[in-house]
Amino acid sequence: MKKILSIITACITLLVSCTKDAPAYPSVAQTVVIPPAPVTITDNISPNPCTGTFTIHTNTTDSQTVVMYDMMGRLQFTLIINGTTAVVDNGLTNGIYMLEFITKTGKINKRLVVQR
């Protein structure tokens, strides 16, 4: 019994000495950051296919940059939209074009077909 008691005492002494020398870690508060939802185009681009004139419908009133490229990657035009809808009339030739919408929350790509 004395041997068991001495082993328990030695364990408690060891445990107490380990906790005294252990560094004190500050409590860590976790912060959860929820990124803003990306802007989505609600009604897309209409009409699609178009004849060169089309309307862009978005669900934001924030300023956005719209960049249009042809399928070869050549820049066709850049447009700033400050409202929810913009009508673009450009002398575009037949083909498929990529529209890149750049907002403060990210980028969105859409495809537009021009058929005259």
> Quick check: is 59 in a domain?
yes
> Quick check: is 60 in a domain?
yes
Per DSSP (E only), the strands in 1-116 are 45-46, 53-57, 64-70, 75-81, 85-89, 95-103, 106-114
Stated pTM of the model: 0.61
**Range(s) of the domain holding residue 107:** 45-114
pLDDT at 2 over 70: no
> Quick check: is 29 in a domain?
no
> Quick check: is 17 in a domain?
no
Model confidence at 19, in pLDDT bands (50, 70, 90)?
low
Count of structural domains, the chain: 1
Using one digit for the tens of pLDDT, what is the confidence trace for 35-77? 666 555 554 788 999 988 888 888 777 888 999 999 999 999 9
Q: Is 94 exposed, middle or buried (0-12, 13-18, 19+ CB in 10 A)?
A: exposed
CATH code: domain of residue 75: 2.60.40
Two tokens at 73? 């990657």
CA–CA gap between residue 88 and residue 79 (Å, rounded): 9
